[in-house]
Structure 1
Amino acid sequence: MHQPRLWTKNFLIDAVTNLFVYLVYYFLMVTIAAYSSDHLQASPSEAGLASGIFILGALVARIFAGRAIDQVGQKKILYCGLVFYLITTLLYFVANNLMLLFVIRFLHGAGFGISATATGTIVAGIIPCARRGEGTSYYAMSATLASAIGPFLGMMLIRQGDFDTVLILSVILLAASLIATFFLTIPEVKFTKEQMDKIKGFSLHYFFEIKAIPISIIGVLIGLSFSSILSFLTSYTREINLVGPGSFFFVVYAASILISRPLTGRWFDQRGENFVMYPSFFLFAIGLLILSQAHHGFLLLLAGVFVGLGYGTFLSSAQAIAIKVSPAHNMGLATSTFFSFIDGGVGIGPFLLGFLVPATGFRGMYLGMVFVVFACSFLYYFLHGKKTPGMETA
């Protein structure tokens, strides 16, 4: 049977735009703490705040962006997000004190949140319904590529003490994204009068898509678990004398996602979400378990493989579920709801886990995350898994 076309001009433009948006995020996320310490004399806690306040800005923006997309329009919000993201990137050039840097980081996070929510919503309307899982998986690979290239390139540049080059490269990427967006054609979403009245109203459920909340709740816990790697892997590898292999962890992590995404996306469409979701929890937990027991480089990188297979599969599949269970006219709200919860978990995780590390050590913390991820598989069953139809054969 003939399948609807996936790799269209609009899909490619949106995916590349998303790649650039996330590259800028990773460039600065891995360099801003070192920059604030070296050039603005920030303490370790202040440097951590300079990094983490970006996530808070993204979280706040995502909450409002989903509603704004439905009210104002997808392409207009993408324009606004990219312009704001670009302007706040330029502001780093005048950040000469910590307080100003905190304000810029928060606003920069808001620009990222608006842009990323818009690109995610737009691609949901571009992908044919029959290829929802496959298309979402391919699209999510743009963020995966950024997670490998961004930290590697950013850390290489900051080691040379060249933060301005990081900023210039970020400005170029965002300017290119803004230009490319002019050539993007977005399918029109038509609303009934009743839907428009709801969009214009004011209530908590107008900022969150209620039907996307169950899978998003699981996203909070998965995001919290993943934040243990994002925030503490560098310190952990220093403690266990595996800094060299540790620098390649996210490269291996990204490679495993890139290899597996085409398969997991097809399985999602052909055999149902449960077929990929339950293994994703198991593989992520195994990755954390191996990480907690790593004593040499091979095991550390093997953990990266399993984390990529588990967390990477969860992220794209859970996003597809959030969109699938929500009304078509609320795709923007569903996307922002899901990623707001993910951002919340990733953002609050380092703060909460920071209290755990002194008591358990890094190995104990990662072992604790194994149980959290396994618990998520049971939570998934009760919140969504048992409600889905039986698996279909390919």
Structure 2
Amino acid sequence: MKATSYWSRNFILILIGNALLFMVYNMQVPVLPLFGKQLGLTPAQIGIFVGAIMFAALVTRLFVPWFSGKFSKKVLLVVGILLYLLASVGYPLLGSFGLLVLLRLFNGLGHGITTTYFATSAADELPANKIGEGMGYFGIGTMMTASLAPLLALAIVQRVSFAAFFVTCIGILFLAMLAILGTTRSPRSAAKPTTKAPVFDRQFMPQCSLVFILGVLMSGVMTFTPIYAQAQHLTAISWFFFVAAIAGVVIRPIVGRSFDQRGPRLVLLISTVLLTVGLVMIAVISSNWLLITAGIFYGVADGAIYPTLQAWVFKVTTLENRDTATGMFLNSYDLGMGLGAVVLGGLVELLQYQGMFWVLSIVGLCYIGLAMGCSRRVA
């Protein structure tokens, strides 16, 4: 592979495998609550059933240094996809709450493993001077499937059945498995983590702090914008998420090249400003066009900030500690998403939806300053 090229067979297969796995993840997000409701689970049980995946993923990533020292990334990805398959096969067969939660925990183990090692495997294929651009393209597959998956999943459930939905998930996971089995070992992936690689490293606190807050902000938008828009008698919420996904896909290669040439500071300045503007627009939405425009701002910001922070982590870590850094980074984001939904739900009860989005706007304004402070040393 040439020093300036990263479009190797391995990179393409890893990108495809990751996109297919996230296709299944994003298909399950809107369907599993409906599946639980059909089985007669209470709202509290549905919340535990659906949310167990994040808890298991968080715990799994704490063992990343040990996994990396014992097994190759390819083996770990195969195991992670197999755990996803086990859960997808079991969901329609097991109807009790306890067994469903157990399956969701297995699903979470697979999710924690695959999200860590897909990202690091992709980074292993990239030359140092192209890591921002390469990870930008890597994330495009995830964003495209995130926009298409809910539409496909709900269409299958509404027009066919839950059984057909789970069969579709299983088929997609088999394709992801084939993609990974088709990869060969990269020289960079042979690097082993240090014997006592920490599960927490202060070196990555700037990036992890920023991605944690991003997770809080994103959880507010994703969880409460649909309900808030409905309360405002707006009908374009599907278009909000669609244009956000398209904007994120378009912007990723651009910000990736900017990161490679200038570092994270400029990208973070522009994208955090756009994110704050988008949050303010959501807080004051009064028409479908304003909602759609807010979706563009939100999509550009999300499509720029996350991959920039991820590429920044890869840039400053060593090959030996890349898996540990990725686990810490992903856990920070998931923790922000999980805690954000809980805390912001409480704010809604106190301040109503518009008040909560004004709080998010203020947090976004502070986020600009924090991003500039954290990236000062690499300007």
Amino acid at match of 1:314: I
Deviations 1:237-256 (A, max 9, x none): 221222x3112222111100
2:5 is paired with a residue whose SS is coil
The TM-score normalised by the length of structure 2 is: 0.94
Deviations 1:71-93 (A, max 9, x none): 42211111111111111211112
Aligned twin of 2:352? 361
The whole-number CA distance in structure 1 between the counterparts of 2:202 and 2:70 is 18
Aligned twin of 1:344? 335
The whole-number CA distance in structure 2 between the counterparts of 1:213 and 1:293 is 34
Q: Following TM superposition, by how much is the alpha carbon of 1:102 offset from its aligned partner in structure 2, in angstroms?
A: 2.0
Aligned twin of 2:254? 263
Given the alignment of the two structures, is residue 222 of structure 1 paired with residue 214 of structure 2, yes or no?
yes
Deviations 1:46-97 (A, max 9, x none): 3233322222222222232354124422111111111111112111122312
- Mapped contact 1:209–1:326 kept (Cα < 8 A): no
Q: Following TM superposition, by how much is the alpha carbon of 1:99 offset from its aligned partner in structure 2, in angstroms?
A: 2.5
Q: Following TM superposition, by how much is the alpha carbon of 1:106 offset from its aligned partner in structure 2, in angstroms?
A: 2.3
The whole-number CA distance in structure 1 between the counterparts of 2:190 and 2:16 is 26
The whole-number CA distance in structure 2 between the counterparts of 1:304 and 1:67 is 41
- Mapped contact 2:58–2:334 kept (Cα < 8 A): yes
Amino acid at match of 2:27: F
The TM-score normalised by the length of structure 1 is: 0.91
Unaligned runs of 5+ residues in structure 2 are: none
Judging changes above 3 Å, is the alpha-carbon distance between structure 1 residues 155 and 362 closer, same or farther for their aligned structure 2 residues?
A: farther
The whole-number CA distance in structure 2 between the counterparts of 1:298 and 1:139 is 31
Q: Following TM superposition, by how much is the alpha carbon of 1:228 offset from its aligned partner in structure 2, in angstroms?
A: 1.0
Amino acid at match of 1:210: R
Q: Identify the match of residue 323 of structure 2 among 307, 311, 332.
A: 332
The whole-number CA distance in structure 1 between the counterparts of 2:194 and 2:45 is 44
Aligned twin of 2:203? 211
Aligned twin of 2:20? 20
The whole-number CA distance in structure 2 between the counterparts of 1:85 and 1:69 is 20
Aligned twin of 2:195? 197
What is the root-mean-square deviation in Å for CA atoms of aligned residues? Answer: 1.8
- Mapped contact 2:219–2:338 kept (Cα < 8 A): yes
Q: Following TM superposition, by how much is the alpha carbon of 1:160 offset from its aligned partner in structure 2, in angstroms?
A: 3.5
Unaligned runs of 5+ residues in structure 1 are: 200-205, 390-394
Given the alignment of the two structures, is residue 293 of structure 1 paired with residue 292 of structure 2, yes or no?
no
The worse-fitting range, judged by mean Cα deviation, of 80-89 and 370-379 is 370-379
Q: How many residues align?
A: 377
Aligned twin of 2:7? 7
- Mapped contact 2:57–2:108 kept (Cα < 8 A): yes
Judging changes above 3 Å, is the alpha-carbon distance between structure 1 residues 215 and 250 closer, same or farther for their aligned structure 2 residues?
A: same
Aligned twin of 1:236? 228
- Mapped contact 1:62–1:340 kept (Cα < 8 A): yes
1:329 is paired with a residue whose SS is coil
The worse-fitting range, judged by mean Cα deviation, of 24-33 and 159-168 is 159-168
Aligned twin of 1:117? 116
The whole-number CA distance in structure 2 between the counterparts of 1:79 and 1:290 is 43
Deviations 1:122-170 (A, max 9, x none): 0111011111110010101111112101122122233346222221111
Q: Percent identity?
A: 25
The worse-fitting range, judged by mean Cα deviation, of 104-113 and 157-166 is 157-166
Aligned twin of 1:91? 90
Q: Following TM superposition, by how much is the alpha carbon of 1:196 offset from its aligned partner in structure 2, in angstroms?
A: 4.2
- Mapped contact 2:216–2:339 kept (Cα < 8 A): yes
Amino acid at match of 1:337: M
User: Counterparts of 1:43-54 in structure 2 under 5 Å?
Assistant: 43-54=42-53
